[in-house]
């Protein structure tokens, strides 16, 4: 499948690995793919994100992703749903952090081991949800009649199903339908 990836899509994947390294995550997840997409310029996904105002709200998106990570993967929508049941996620996180330290629930696990001298650093595997995003991007490309997988397909895949990235983007007014429209507008111009 990777051979169908455009240069831009490959850069997103490489960028996601770098973001995982920067955050100390031992796996690459949806959040890292989203951050790597936000790093792009001059590509279909970058143009769509810019048209939808996501680039201008990058700091807010990064903070939202960090908060979801801190809560162990619980999105704002999940936290609101739990609040409706009388469960205060903020209070639970505060108690866990009080007992076990700040970031105790943070998703991504422990930082990868430091390589021994002269050895290459260990590769960060892709988490199940990130693999699902990559697989879904292939299905989206095929459904659209495209013979390649570009960063636009990765963005569509991130917004196509519920997940950390989709919830954070939706909270910032970026949805699958809006991404499709922005991509269509870009293709027409």
pLDDT interval class at 113 (50, 70, 90): very low
- As to burial, measured by CB atoms within 10 angstroms (0-12 exposed, 13-18 middle, 19+ buried), residue 136 is middle
Q: How far is CA 25 from the centre of its chain?
A: 13
Mean pLDDT of all residues in 164-178:
94
Q: Which two tokens stand for residue 18?
A: 């770098």
Q: How many CB atoms lie within 10 A of CB 150?
A: 22
Among the listed residues 107, 101, 74, the one whose alpha carbon sits nearest the alpha carbon of residue 90: 74
Residue 111: predicted pLDDT: 42
Range 129-136 contact pairs with CB under 8 angstroms and sequence separation of 24 or more: 129/29, 129/30, 129/163, 129/164, 130/16, 130/27, 130/28, 130/29, 130/30, 130/32, 130/33, 132/161, 133/30, 133/33, 133/157, 133/158, 133/163, 133/165, 134/1, 134/13, 135/1, 136/160, 136/161
Please say if the pLDDT value at position 107 is more than 60. no
Mean pLDDT of all residues in 15-31:
90
Q: Calculate ∠ Cα 72-169-147, nearest 5°.
A: 110
Please say if the pLDDT value at position 57 is more than 70. yes
Give tens-digit pLDDT for 66-78: 888 888 878 778 8
Pairwise pLDDT comparison (116 vs 98), residue with the higher score: 98
- As to burial, measured by CB atoms within 10 angstroms (0-12 exposed, 13-18 middle, 19+ buried), residue 55 is middle
Report whether 44 contacts 77 (CB < 8 A). Answer: no
Please say if the pLDDT value at position 120 is more than 60. no
Pairwise pLDDT comparison (73 vs 112), residue with the higher score: 73
Residue 112: predicted pLDDT: 42
Please state, rounded to an integer, the average pLDDT across all residues of the chain: 87
Residue 143: predicted pLDDT: 95
């Amino acid at each position: 499948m990777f051979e169908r990836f455009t240069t831009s899509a490959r850069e997103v994947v490489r960028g996601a690995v770098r973001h995982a390294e920067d955050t100390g995550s031992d796996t690459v997840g949806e959040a890292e793919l989203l951050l790597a997409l936000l790093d792009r310029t001059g590509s279909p996904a970058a143009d769509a994100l810019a048209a939808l105002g996501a680039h201008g709200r990058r700091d807010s998106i990064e903070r939202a992703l960090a908060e979801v990570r801190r809560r162990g993967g619980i999105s704002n929508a999940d936290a609101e749903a739990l609040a409706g049941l009388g469960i205060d996620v903020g209070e639970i996180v505060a108690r866990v952090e009080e007992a076990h330290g700040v970031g105790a629930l943070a998703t991504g696990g422990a930082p990868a081991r430091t390589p021994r001298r002269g050895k290459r650093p260990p590769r960060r595997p892709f988490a199940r949800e990130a693999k699902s995003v990559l697989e879904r991007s292939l299905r989206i490309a095929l459904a659209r009649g495209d013979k390649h997988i570009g960063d636009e397909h990765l963005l569509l895949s991130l917004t196509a199903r519920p997940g950390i990235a989709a919830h954070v983007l939706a909270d910032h007014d970026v949805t699958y339908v809006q991404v499709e429209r922005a991509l269509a507008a870009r293709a027409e111009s």
